[in-house]
Amino acid sequence: MGALLAYESAVRMDIHDQQQLRHLFLSGCLPPIQLYQEQANYKRLFDDPEQYVIIGGKHTEILLQNRQLFDLFFPVIQADFAILSDYRPVMPENKLKCNISMFFGSDENICGEKELCGWSEMTEGQASYQMFHGDHLFLLEQSISITEAVTRTLKCYRR
């Protein structure tokens, strides 16, 4: 969800001639057109909590085993999928001009490197893909490695 929000923000910044981004970091999200084509799959998830395990992996299993946690987080997860199921991508006349780094989990069930390739079509810059150990929620366990990857990339832009 965050990757989609970041991409849409970058598109709008570009459309409105605001300061151009140099690099966009995204994580675990299908490219907008693919996401739009998959909307029917998101709609069927609303009422079936067991399906969320497919997406969230072991972290979602913990929610399903703890009713109090589930009752707390399930409405938030449902809201995310409600937004995704109604998403209509903005297709700008021009591609983004910045480079894109896409991070994904090695055990990702929804969008691995093959599915993420479409992000290269969204930019005139370079697109890179980096895999981290974990499922869709790999960010929770790989924060240090991700921070190091972002820092390495940003050092290239120093003047």
Q: What pLDDT digit, counting tens, does each position of 2-28 carry?
A: 888 899 899 888 877 767 789 999 998
- State the Rg of the chain over Cα: 17
pLDDT in tens, 115-150: 888 899 999 999 999 999 988 878 888 999 999 999
Tell me, yes or no, whether 38 lies in a domain. no
Cα distance between residue 155 and residue 34, in whole Å:
32
Question: Looking at the structure, do residues 26 and 76 belong to the same domain, yes or no?
Answer: no
Per-residue pLDDT at 102: 94
Retrieve residue 44's tokens.
């069927």
Cα distance between residue 58 and residue 47, in whole Å:
20
Question: Looking at the structure, do residues 151 and 97 belong to the same domain, yes or no?
Answer: yes
Residue 124 in contact with residue 31, Cβ under 8 Å?
A: no
Looking up residue 136, the CATH number of its domain turns out to be: 3.40.50.1820
Q: How confident is the model at residue 34 (pLDDT cuts 50, 70, 90)?
A: confident
Cα distance between residue 58 and residue 150, in whole Å:
26
Strands, DSSP E only, in 8-56? 23-27
Tell me, yes or no, whether 57 lies in a domain. yes
pLDDT in tens, 52-108: 656 666 666 777 788 888 888 778 877 877 787 788 887 777 889 899 999 999 988
Does residue 28 come out as left (phi exceeding 0), alpha (psi in the -120 to 50 range) or beta?
left
What is the count of structural domains for the chain?
A: 2
Task: Give the angle 6-2-150 at the CA atoms, nearest 5°.
Answer: 70
Domain residues for 21?
A: 2-33+93-155
Contacts of 14 (CB under 8 A, 6+ apart): 20, 21, 92, 94, 96, 97
Question: Looking at the structure, do residues 101 and 123 belong to the same domain, yes or no?
Answer: yes
Per-residue pLDDT at 38: 74
Question: Looking at the structure, do residues 128 and 112 belong to the same domain, yes or no?
Answer: yes
Question: Looking at the structure, do residues 117 and 148 belong to the same domain, yes or no?
Answer: yes
Question: Looking at the structure, do residues 27 and 105 belong to the same domain, yes or no?
Answer: yes
Tell me, yes or no, whether 97 lies in a domain. yes
Per-residue pLDDT at 72: 86
Of 85, 103, 118, which residue sits at a domain end?
A: 85
